[in-house]
Every structure is written in C-alpha cells, then in structure tokens.
Amino acid sequence: MTRIIGIVSGKGGAGKTTIASNLSYALTELGKDITTIDTNLTTPHLGLHLGFQLVPKSLHDFLRGDAKLQDVIYYHPFGFKIIPAGLSVSDLVGIDPDKLQDVTLNLIGKTDIIILDSAPSLGREATLSLKLADEILLVANPNLPSVLDVLKVANVAKKLNKNILGIVVNRVSKQNDLTSEQIEDIVKYPVIAEVPEDVDIQRALSARTAVIDYNYKSKASVEIRRLAHHLVGKKFNYNPGFWKRLVSAFK
C-alpha cells in the first residue's frame, strides 16, 4: 500500500520543505521507495532545497498537459524520486491544479511513500494537497501565531477525516515562546519531533542539499532521522557503532 503523507503548516517558512526534503533522504535510507512532490505551485522551493531548481520539464508542464508524468519525475542521487515544480510566474499560465490527483493516482502501487511538500495556509493549493494526502504531518514553530495557524489546518484535516500523525515542532531553541507541552495543549495532537534551530540547515540550503547530507551528525539531522524511524515504526538507534565499541571496550 502506498502511503501519501502531506507536510503542512499554517504559516509559510515553518520548515515544511526542510522536513519534506530531509524525510525523503532519511526514509530512503530506511529502504523505502520515496517520491516527493512539490505541491506548492505558486512559491515552490523543493527543487531549490535539493539541487533540482532548473529542470527541463516540471510538474507545471504536466499540469498544463505539455509533458508526460514520467518526464517530470527525476531521480535524485540520494535514491528517491522528486517531482519539482516550475519556478517562473509564466509556469502558472494554463495549468490545471486538479490534475495533481492524476499524479498521486498514477504513483499508487509504484512507490512506498508519496511525500507532498505543501503550500502554506488554507488557500486552494494547500487544501488540494490536504485532500490528496491520507496522513498529515503538521509543522509548526514554537510561537503562538505559528501554532494557532497549525491548529486551523489541523481542524480542516480532521474534518476531511485525515489521519493526523502529529506535530513536528521546528526551530526549537532556548528562546522559544512555547514549550512542546503547551503546543500539545493547544493543538490536541502529540509532538512527535522537536527539530532544533540549527545553522547547518541554512548552510545545507545554500549548498542546495539536505542537512542530513550536509552534516549527518548535526542535531537537526539526528532528529529528522529519528522522526523517519518513528513514521515507519522502526526503533532509532543513534550511532549504534559507538555503543557497540563502548560496550566491547568493557568486555
């Protein structure tokens, strides 16, 4: 069964694309066949995060009827598939966003997990990916506006009978406005990951790569890898090699 996971948030800039691109990496590492789609049609960034910013044919060409689906699926060197969206304003002309459903329908049975990197808020394109997803990952920053916006999105997802997997709190630091417990009290869903504020995430973006690739051991990388294990029901053993060496030193 192909799972379709929508990465959503209320506010823009919460970290959806960062989480989507790094989860693609981490879930591939766990042996899953992943296809990640940029469903943020007006302000797409997935390609920018993963070094696929300039592609001959994009999702927009498919949505306009100018390209076949197989022509807009790219194979990332990390081992997953990516469907990037077009970057220019002219890409928006003549597209039919409802054709996004043809993309997910076509991929069912051909990939293990489809990850939808969503547009923020509750406009047409964001609602479209909420509808296409079966499971929802809420991304919020630990401040009240971000959490209230995610609450709104969670309520819509609930009405659509979606399986809400939980909240990823992103950019956690000592200066936070809200704790994870407070966020759970407001949104009424569990916090399943706390991704720290991590300068390596911005460095990775400048290098057009995932932070897990940029610095495998950074705190953000470790937390997103832990989240990936959680999503597929696997136990996360941080640096098992280290523990094995330590234990054998005491034998």
Ligand X SMILES: Nc1ncnc2c1ncn2[C@@H]1O[C@H](COP(=O)(O)OP(=O)(O)O)[C@@H](O)[C@H]1O
Q: Which stretch binds Mg ion (CB under 5 A): 42-50, 159-167, 180-188, 237-245?
A: 42-50
Pick one of 5, 6, 10, 18: the residue that binds ligand X (CB under 6 A): 18
**Sign of the Cα pseudo-torsion (120, 109, 209, 241, in order):** positive
**Binding site partner of 221, from ligand X, Mg ion, none, Cβ cut-off 5-8 A by kind:** none
- Token pair, residue 217, equals 């051991």
Binder to ligand X among 22, 146, 170, 221 (CB under 6 A)? 170
Tell me which of 11, 45, 76, 226 binds Mg ion, using CB under 5 A: 45
Nearest to 147 by CA among 188, 120, 187: 187
Total number of residues binding Mg ion (CB under 5 A)? 3
Structure tokens at 165: 């997997």
**How many other C-beta atoms can be found within 10 angstroms of the C-beta atom of residue 168?**
26
Q: Considering the complex, state which of residue 18 and residue 24 has its C-beta at the smaller distance from ligand X.
A: 18
Between CA 129 and CA 54 the distance in angstroms is 23
Among 202, 216, 236, 237, the residue binding ligand X under the rule CB under 6 A is: 202
Of 8-16, 129-137, 143-151, 228-236, the window that binds ligand X (rule: CB under 6 A) is 8-16
Q: How far, in Å, are 20, 179, 200, 214 from residue 206 at the CA level?
A: 17, 29, 10, 10
**29 vs 197, which CB is nearer to ligand X?**
197
Taking CB under 5 A as the rule, does residue 17 contact Mg ion?
yes
Please give the residue whose beta carbon sits closest to Mg ion in the complex: 17
Site membership for ligand X, residue 14 (CB under 6 A): yes
22 binds Mg ion (CB under 5 A): no
Q: Please, which residue, 66 or 213, has the CB nearer to ligand X? A: 213
CA 201 to CA 205: how far, in whole Å? 6
Residues 31-90 that bind ligand X (CB under 6 A): 45
**Of the ranges 84-92, 144-152, 157-165, 198-206, which one interacts with ligand X (CB under 6 A)?**
198-206
Q: Decide: residue 169, CB within 10 A, 0-12 exposed, 13-18 middle, 19+ buried.
A: buried
CB-based contact 85:47 (threshold 8 Å): yes
With CB under 5 to 8 Å by kind, the binding choice for 162 among Mg ion, ligand X, none is: none
Query: Rounded to an integer, what distance in angstroms lies between the CA atom of residue 104 and that of residue 83?
Result: 11
Distance between CA atoms of 185 and 212, rounded to whole angstroms?
A: 31
Q: Of the two residues 104 and 118, which places its CB atom closer to Mg ion in the complex?
A: 118
What are the residues whose beta carbons fall under 8 Å from the beta carbon of 138, sequence distance 6 or more? 8, 9, 150, 153, 154, 157, 164, 166, 167, 168, 187, 189
| Residue 198 interacting partner from ligand X, Mg ion, none (CB closer than 5 to 8 Å by kind) | ligand X
In the complex, the residues that contact ligand X under the rule CB under 6 A are 9, 12-18, 45, 170-171, 195, 197-198, 201-202, 205, 220
In the complex, the residues that contact Mg ion under the rule CB under 5 A are 16-17, 45
